[in-house]
Chain A
């Protein structure tokens, strides 16, 4: 598994590629997947806590994108549309399983900017954050992942989750409070 970042998405090029995908061009699909899959898998792994399940769901997202290519209208960015499909699949996944991701996560810490911290502390913190996020209610988890991890604006998150912006803000506030509570051993009373 490589951690290199693919080319930055280009909205206009996405539209052009989607038109080609709708016409049955598999090479255009390959380019779109190469461009967008890393963020999609990252988001899904944050949601489901499993690399294998995240990859399966990401695969399903692109299959659905391909099926809908002829009907797709470029009203929103393709990356937002993909996250929207992914979010719906995550909801279906929890409904199918009949439970939420509260079990231990398969998580491999990756080296990040640890100039002021030891790699060990970074790994511990990452794991603690992942475990805490897995304990959040689904809507709070999705909202905090979309705003902090994917850096999406509130309006896009509201569209993806099909709720008003005010609900998104409430969930994010509650998620932060809950995470502080769950991680009080690390942060004490900040």
Chain B
């Protein structure tokens, strides 16, 4: 642009603005590098926090899915109790059969009575 052909207003506008065109600040680069390092550390912390939070959420989900519900626990308990009674009953019957085989002369009902008697 030819400054000589421009009216004073344009010349002075350009001169005034160009005086503020470049404002060097001493130590600014070091301040920026410090701020960038802090920003980098902050983002690493945020990233690892996110990973840890996600891992914790997965662990809780796995534990929740693998733990039986109260109803399931009740069913399992009842089944165990039922299985134990049947096993006892089978044992009794098995013992009675054994006795009847070994002692055919003895009445099976009397053996059962003896076994069922209090204190047996």
Q: Which residues of A contact B (CB under 8 A)?
A: 1-6, 26, 29-31, 33-34, 37-39, 41-43, 45-46, 51, 54-55, 58-59, 62-63, 66-67, 109-110, 112-113, 125-126, 129-130, 133, 144-145, 148-151, 176, 179-180, 183, 187, 190
Contact = CB atoms under 8 A, between A and B. Distances in A.
Contact of B22 (A34, A38, A112): A38
Interface in B16-72: 16-26, 28-33, 35-37, 39-40
Contact-residue size bin, chain B (C-beta under 8 Å from the other chain): 20 to 34
B46 to A, nearest CB: 13
User: Secondary structure of the A side of the interface?
Assistant: helix
Max count, chain A CB within 10 A of own CB: residue among B8, B9, B23, B24: B23
User: Secondary structure of the B side of the interface?
Assistant: helix
Contacts of B36: 26, 29, 62-63, 66
A103 B40 CA distance: 36
Interface of B: 7-10, 12-26, 28-33, 35-37, 39-40
Contacts of A42: 20-23
A17 to B, nearest CB: 12
Nearest to A43: B21
26 contacts: A1-B25, A2-B25, A3-B24, A34-B29, A37-B28, A38-B23, A38-B24, A41-B25, A43-B21, A54-B23, A55-B28, A63-B32, A63-B36, A63-B39, A66-B36, A112-B19, A126-B19, A130-B20, A133-B17, A144-B17, A145-B17, A148-B17, A149-B18, A179-B13, A183-B9, A190-B9
